């Protein structure tokens, strides 16, 4: 199917998904010799639904966070949208192409970056891998040089691109991976945990680079991350998926307010004290450093009271981890279903 001839319509949309599903047929066997022998003659399989009836639209230039616990179906969805997996049901259109047709023009306009995968040549400097990408994506040399140098500068790669990839740290390698994935200036970026395992400084650098790339090229970005900071810095809109089904699609603020409005105060005291009147004590394993949970709109007032009434040495306000927010969202969804 060519661009503009999509089965799923969407005038200015980069990504249109309708009723998308993926079921894996997985062999199952009890442990032990007997079941091993039995399985020779009577092989049993289970259908595992990884993605079930998912539908959404992402406009061109939008950055959308795709959230959910491990095994929720995020990566499977990204793989279907990038053409790596055939869906069991439903339709998807990315830039007007059906991803699983794996049209070469489609593949030239997208990228999928997975935080735990390495696409660079391990034994060679990243510059050599960049050269290979130039040849594969048919990038004219002047354009390639301009784009390469710009990415090296923006990602602060400097001399790192001249070292063999095996000698780079995880963060350095990730930056080089991202540069390599963007040399052909893709219009749609599927990012699966792009900041996985990186230190805070490196995470921030990559976040600001992605925001900049989105602004400059009006690129559409679908991002999965377990770091709330990634999502907050980049995405106004989030989609939450669990057990393969889409549970929430809307503003990030709405998600946090609805499901994760609480804050955790970690208080360091000069002597132990009972803080249960200030909020729900969630951790008092160290009596002089308890943690209490309060409502998000109470943070300022409770902090002021604590500082005035208790022997506080130090105090930290923590936002709920994204998994907590999502977990609460699922709890509420289940209760109201």
Q: Is 27 helix (H, G, I), strand (E, B) or coil?
A: strand
Q: Does 101 bind another protein (CB under 8 A)?
A: no
Q: Given the structure tokens 């059906």, which residue do they identify?
A: 98
- Taking CB under 8 A as the rule, which mask of x and - marks residues 255-294 in contact with another protein? ----------------------------------------
b vs e for 47-61, b when ≥16 Cβ sit within 10 Å of the residue's Cβ?
eeebbbebebbbebe
Q: Does 31 bind another protein (CB under 8 A)?
A: no
Question: Which segments of the chain does DSSP mark as H helices, in order?
Answer: 33-41, 74-81, 104-107, 126-136, 141-154, 170-182, 200-217, 228-234, 252-259, 299-309, 322-336
Q: Are 302 and 252 in contact (CB under 8 A)?
A: no
**Contact between 102 and another protein per CB under 8 A:** yes
Instruction: Name which of 132 and 229 has its Cβ closer to another protein.
Output: 132
Q: Does 111 contact another protein by CB under 8 A?
A: yes
Helices (H) and strands (E) in the chain, counts: 11, 13
Identity of the residue, 82 or 256, whose beta carbon is nearer to another protein in the bound complex: 82
In 3-state terms, what secondary structure has residue 294? strand
Residue nearer to another protein on the CB measure, 105 or 283: 105
- State yes or no: residue 24 binds another protein (CB under 8 A): yes
Determine the Cα angle at 188 with ends 184 and 194, to 5°.
90
Nearer to another protein by Cβ, of 84 and 315: the residue is 84
Q: Name which of 130 and 259 has its Cβ closer to another protein.
A: 130
Residue from 82, 93, 203, 225 that binds another protein (CB under 8 A)?
82
Q: Does 88 bind another protein (CB under 8 A)?
A: no
**Contact flag: residue 85 with another protein (CB under 8 A):** yes
Binding of residue 142 to another protein (CB under 8 A): no
| Residue 29 near another protein by CB under 8 A | no
Tokens of 189: 């970026």
Interacting stretch for another protein, rule CB under 8 A, among 6-14, 107-115, 223-231, 305-313?
A: 107-115
Nearer to another protein, 112 or 302 (CB): 112
What residues between 154 and 183 interact with another protein by CB under 8 A? none
**Residue among 49, 60, 124, 315 that touches another protein (CB under 8 A):** 124
User: Toward another protein, which CB reaches closer, 63 or 85?
Assistant: 85
Q: Segment near another protein (CB under 8 A), from 55-63, 105-113, 149-157, 299-307? A: 105-113
Question: Which of 250, 251, 207, 228 has the alpha carbon at shortest distance from 327?
Answer: 228
Nearest CA to 186 among 106, 113, 109, 81? 109
Q: Is 86 in the site for another protein (CB under 8 A)?
A: yes
Q: Which are the contacts of 203, defined by CB distance < 8 A and separation ≥ 6?
A: 195, 227, 229, 230
Using the 8-state DSSP alphabet, how is residue 166 labeled? G
> Which one of the spans 6-14, 100-108, 279-287, 306-314 is the region binding another protein (CB under 8 A)?
100-108
Would you call 41 exposed, middle or buried from its count of C-beta atoms within 10 A (0-12, 13-18, 19+)? Answer: exposed
Does position 332 interact with another protein (CB under 8 A)? The reply is: no
Which residue from 29, 43, 44, 117 is in contact with another protein, where contact means CB under 8 A?
A: 117
Number of residues that bind another protein (CB under 8 A): 31
Strand segments, DSSP code E, in the chain are 13-28, 44-59, 63-67, 89-94, 110-114, 188-192, 220-224, 237-242, 245-251, 262-269, 280-283, 291-295, 312-318
Site of interaction with another protein (CB under 8 A): 24, 75, 79, 82-86, 102, 104-105, 107-108, 110-112, 114, 117, 119, 121, 123-124, 128, 131-132, 134-138, 140
């Amino acid at each position: 199917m060519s661009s503009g001839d999509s089965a799923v319509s969407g005038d200015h949309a980069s990504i249109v998904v309708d009723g998308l599903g993926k079921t894996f047929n997985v062999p199952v066997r009890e442990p032990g010799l007997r079941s091993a022998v039995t399985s020779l003659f009577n092989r049993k399989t289970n259908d595992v639904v990884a993605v079930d009836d998912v539908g959404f639209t992402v406009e061109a230039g939008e950055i959308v966070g795709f959230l959910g616990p491990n095994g929720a179906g995020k990566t499977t969805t990204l793989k279907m949208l990038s053409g790596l997996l055939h869906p069991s049901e439903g339709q998807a259109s990315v830039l007007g192409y059906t991803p699983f047709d794996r049209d070469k023009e489609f593949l030239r306009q997208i990228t999928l970056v997975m935080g735990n995968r390495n696409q660079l040549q391990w034994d060679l400097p990243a510059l050599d891998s960049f050269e290979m990408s130039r040849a594969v994506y048919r990038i004219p040399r002047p354009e390639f040089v301009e784009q390469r140098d710009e990415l090296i500068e923006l990602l602060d790669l400097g001399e790192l691109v001249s070292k063999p990839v095996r000698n780079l740290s995880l963060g350095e390698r990730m930056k080089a991976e991202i540069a390599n994935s963007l040399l052909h200036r893709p219009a749609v970026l599927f990012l699966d945990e792009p900041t996985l395992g990186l230190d805070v400084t490196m995470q921030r650098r990559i976040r600001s680079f992605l925001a900049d790339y989105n602004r400059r090229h009006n690129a559409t970005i679908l991002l999965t991350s377990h770091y709330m900071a990634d999502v907050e810095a980049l995405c106004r809109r989030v989609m939450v998926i669990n057990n393969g089904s889409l549970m929430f699609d809307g503003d990030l603020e709405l998600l946090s307010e609805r499901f994760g409005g609480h804050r955790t105060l970690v208080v360091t005291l000069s002597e132990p004290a009972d803080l249960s009147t200030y909020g729900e004590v969630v951790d008092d394993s160290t009596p002089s450093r308890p943690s209490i949970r309060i409502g998000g709109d109470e943070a300022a007032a409770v902090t002021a009271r604590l500082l005035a009434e208790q022997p506080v040495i130090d105090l930290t306000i923590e936002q709920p981890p994204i998994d907590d927010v999502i977990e609460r969202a699922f709890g509420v969804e289940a209760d109201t279903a």
